[in-house]
Amino acid sequence: MAETKKQQKLNAIILNLNSQDEKKVSKAIKSFEANGDSSVIRHLAERLLKTISEKNKTEIIELLSSLKDTSVKGELMAIIDDEKFLDIRQLILTSIWNTKIDFSGYVDEFVFIAIHGSFLEAIDCLTIIENLEGPFMEEDLLESESHLKNYMTSDTPKDEQRAVILSEIALKLKDFNEDVDDDEGFDLIME
């Protein structure tokens, strides 16, 4: 019964979030701070895709940036990986590096985005990676290394600015890798 009441309350908040009334949207965002859980993250992201006032957009980004509950990691990463949300991926990445949540288990995904995403996304990914605390899984670091090697050895033209960012990422990964294992394999990237 309590679960039903909570869900009814969340449904009412979601209804207000999708309103065209700026004040109702603001109220919904504030209500999510007090009553929300990780299930509301997707609703917030979907609202960012729609026409929304700058005030409400800022409120959503501030809410996402202030998250502390680690249960939201999976939801945020699912949004980042979903092509539907490509238009707001950079906003979500920015909010991730502002949170106090450690996303160390997703280092390889951030490296992939830094290589294949926009230049601003690459900068955000570098910032996220620089702030990761670990511990890191060896397979995640190996996958990250593989992404970088594939980029460096591919025939696609290299963007000089992105190359600087990726070099910074490679150095950071080398530091992470030293904590897990020896640093063989990163030599190819650094040459």
Would you give per-residue pLDDT tens digits along the chain (191 residues)?
Answer: 456 887 888 888 899 999 999 999 999 999 988 877 788 899 999 999 998 999 999 999 999 999 888 889 999 999 999 999 999 999 999 999 899 899 999 999 999 999 999 999 999 999 999 999 889 999 999 999 999 999 988 887 788 899 999 999 999 999 998 876 544 444 444 44
Cα separation, 60 vs 25, in Å, equals 10
Among residues 109, 114, 79, the alpha carbon closest in space to that of 95 is found at 79
**Closest by CA position to 101, among listed 128, 121, 61:** 128
The Cα 103–Cα 169 span in angstroms is 15
Q: What pLDDT sits at residue 2? A: 55
Global pTM value: 0.85
CB 188 within 8 A of CB 149: yes
Q: For position 184, what pLDDT does the model report?
A: 45
- pLDDT at position 185, please? 47
